Structures are given as C-alpha cells and as structure tokens.
Structure 1
Amino acid sequence: MPGLTAWAGITQLANVGEGDTVLVNAAAGPVGGTVGQIARIKGAERVVGIAGGAEKCAIVTDTYGFDACIDYKIDGWEAELKKALPDGLSIFFENVSADMAITALDNARTYARGVLCGLAAGYQVQSQDRVPNPLPMGTIIGKRAQLFGLVVYDFYSKWDEFAGEAGKWIQDGKLAFAEDREEGLENAPALFERLMNGQNRGKAVVTVSPEKA
C-alpha cells in the first residue's frame, strides 16, 4: 500500500514530468522514499527530501538517490532548504503537517502542485485542543497552487498498473527500498513503538516463521 500511495499521488494527482522539482517530507519512510524515486523515473529534474536526523537523511540520499536531504532537527534547516531549492519547487508531497506544507508553499513556484497525504506530526497528539495551523489562503491563491487530497483507496482499481510498473523498476534496479525488520511477533511491540515515535529506518516489517505462525 505505501508504494501504491506514492505512485498514485505523484503520477495520478501531481502528474510529475520532465523538468519538475519535487520536495517530499518524511522522505526516509516507505511512502516518501518511493515518491522521490518515482518522480525521478518519470522525469523530475531535481528531488529533495526532508527527514529527521543524519541517519535518515543518509537513507534518503544513499539508498533512495535523492539529490539532497534536509535534516529538520538542525538549527537553520529552513535556510538550508531554500539553498537546496534555488529555483523553487513545482511539486510537494506532504506527509507531516500543515506547518510543513506552509514551508513547502513558501518555496513553491507559481502553479506548483501539492499532494496532501498525511499528518504524521498529529498522530500522537494527546490533546484535542491543539489545532493545526491553517494553510495560508493568500499564498495558495497568489502562487496559483493546486492542492490534492490523497486517499489511497481511491486508486485500488489501478493496483495492477502500479504493480506492473513498480515490479519492472525493482528488477531494473531503479526502485530501492529500506526495511526496519524484526524477527518474531514478540518483537512487534518494540518495532511498533519505534514506528510511532519516528525512530524506524524504512518500512517496518515483522517476519514470522511458518512454524510459529
């Protein structure tokens, strides 16, 4: 499903193509990492990621092949992002929050397209009193930006089309993936905790031996 999510958002909604500059956050995760790679395969000129920590940024550049990855945990990361997008972005893929979407819009070209996929920053919020920042309507209008809400279930009918393309890309070495894997169900809670705390390194997977299933 993460692969279909990435494929649908970047090809069916954002319609990535030649010359695009793409920004994606949570870029070390299975959706974000796949978004950047598919964008490149489909002709994007530049792909930039945002992730938390040097280790995750290394996955983004070394495994997924992004041009750059900005560590949002360091001071002055917004300035570093601007340096990584000297001509602005034409597509952004939002996995984290309204705040991050605003940052993307601040770096957007006129007629940029944005895919709103997830709100990871709010998944662990305990209080319902916290209201996310609204998207800046003036900026959206001024930049003539198009924003698309993405729900992957809308694209299940295209599963075979996605699998056909992705399977060939994997065989050809064009599409890579990283997994944070544990052996045995007894280790699943710890892996799930890492996932919920943003400490996983790639797609969280638990392997269960047949004799233990």
Structure 2
Amino acid sequence: MAVFGAGYFKGKVVAIMGAEHPLGSSLALRFSGFGATVIAIGEDEESLHGLARTNPEQIEPLALRSGRADVLGLLRDAWGDEPLDCYIDTSPISAERQKLQAPDIFAKSAGTAAALVRGIRNGQARAVLAMPAVSSTSSPTETARHAGYTALVRQFGKECMPGRFCGAEVPGDLEWSSEQCLSIGDAIMMLVHPVSRAVAQGTVIGLALDRRK
C-alpha cells in the first residue's frame, strides 16, 4: 500500500457489502486502519458486530437481515444520499462460499448497488464489484452468472457517473487465507485509489494471485 499512498484513505467513507467474507473483513480492517470510516454491510449481524468491535471508532456495522421486504429501502434511507468515497461489493464471492443460488446472489448485488447509487454519484466514488472469474472449464451457469455481473457493472457504470463502477474477477479456487486476502485486497484497493484513474468506467479487470508464496 505504501507504493501508491494509503494515506489517501484517511477521512474517506468506504462502504463494504459482504463484510462477513474473509476478504470483506480484511478490507474493512485495512481501510479503518488507514483512517477511513467503514460501513460494514452484510446479513450476519453477529459477525458484523464482532468486526466493528475491533475498531469501533472507524467501523459501523449495518446488518441487512434476510426476510425483511424493506431492507434495501432502509439502506437507501440511511445512506442513499450520503456521499461515499469508495464502495466495494464482495457479496458475489461471499454468496458463492455460502452456496446460495445464482438469482439470489445477483439480486443482492443489484439491489444494494441501486440503494447506494446516489451516494456513489454524490461522492464521485470509485466502486468495485468483486465477482468469481470464469474459464474454459466453467459451467454454463457460472458463465451466465459472470455475464450478468458484467452487465450489472456496465449498467451502474453509467448510472453512478461521475463516480466510477468497475468489476474485479477473483480466482475461484481460493481458501481465503490471510495472505490471499491481502493479495486480492491490495488489487481491489488500488482500483478505488486515484492511481487507477486510467481504468475505464464499466471495465472488468482480472485479478491475478501470486501463487509463488
């Protein structure tokens, strides 16, 4: 992080969807350690509150309990107009870990992005959707899911301007060790840092992991 200046994040407001996932939790801890205010969003209230206790001055948990029809409306009312500096959604890879069905996974990401799009616009935020990568051996379902997420990135890339929304393809065979979380997290943090200004709106970037470690 020192290479491109972690000090940029001090005082910023960062929303992380899927903060229960090891990657989401790692990012929340790192952003808060750099002085950002982190809105840790997810469905596992106990995990979110545990995360917040590690840095209560900088991490605010926001549990979106399943089964409540108004849950995204509550999120929109609470943070919809508040300017965001960064938005990261790890729920596609988090949901894959939980073996959720593809329609549920996609609806969660699309609904959350829609609830926060005004905040992304108002803060001219850089937003990243972390989604599972696909390959020639991926199933038709996985390929279709990837196409759906790519379309979502392009859609919200237009809706959130002058903010920027892009996608990050994450390898699907990770165990999410602390080293892997740091490696993938570094790449995602670069995408929400001014160093990535050349990345075009609506782009999907493939993230590589250094497997020599």
TM-score normalized by the length of structure 2 = 0.51
Task: Return 5+ residue gaps in structure 2 as ranges.
Answer: 92-105, 172-178, 184-213
Q: Which amino acid aligns with 2:43?
A: G
Whichever of the two has the greater Rg, that structure is 1
Matched residues, percent identical? 17
Determine if contact 1:94/1:117 at 8 Å carries over to the other structure: yes
| Distance in 1 separating the partners of 2:140 and 2:43 | 18
Q: CA 1:136 to 1:87, structure 2 compared with 1: closer, same or farther past 3 Å?
A: closer
| Distance in 1 separating the partners of 2:131 and 2:7 | 19
1:115 and 2:133 correspond: no
1:32 alignment counterpart: 24
2:33 alignment counterpart: 41
1:147 and 2:165 correspond: yes
Query: Quick one: which of 65, 68, 75 aligns to 2:61?
Result: 68
1:88 alignment counterpart: 83
Aligned residue pairs, count: 144
CA shift, 1:20, in A, is 1.0
Moved more, 64-73 or 16-25: 64-73
| Distance in 1 separating the partners of 2:82 and 2:159 | 17
Task: Return 5+ residue gaps in structure 1 as ranges.
Answer: 1-6, 154-158, 164-213
Determine if contact 1:33/1:64 at 8 Å carries over to the other structure: no
| Distance in 1 separating the partners of 2:130 and 2:5 | 11
| Distance in 2 separating the partners of 1:94 and 1:34 | 13
1:77 and 2:71 correspond: yes
Q: Which amino acid aligns with 1:48?
A: I
2:118 alignment counterpart: 106
Q: RMSD over aligned Cα, in angstroms?
A: 4.1
| Distance in 1 separating the partners of 2:167 and 2:39 | 21
Q: Which amino acid aligns with 1:51?
A: G
TM-score normalized by the length of structure 1 = 0.51
CA shift, 1:78, in A, is 2.2
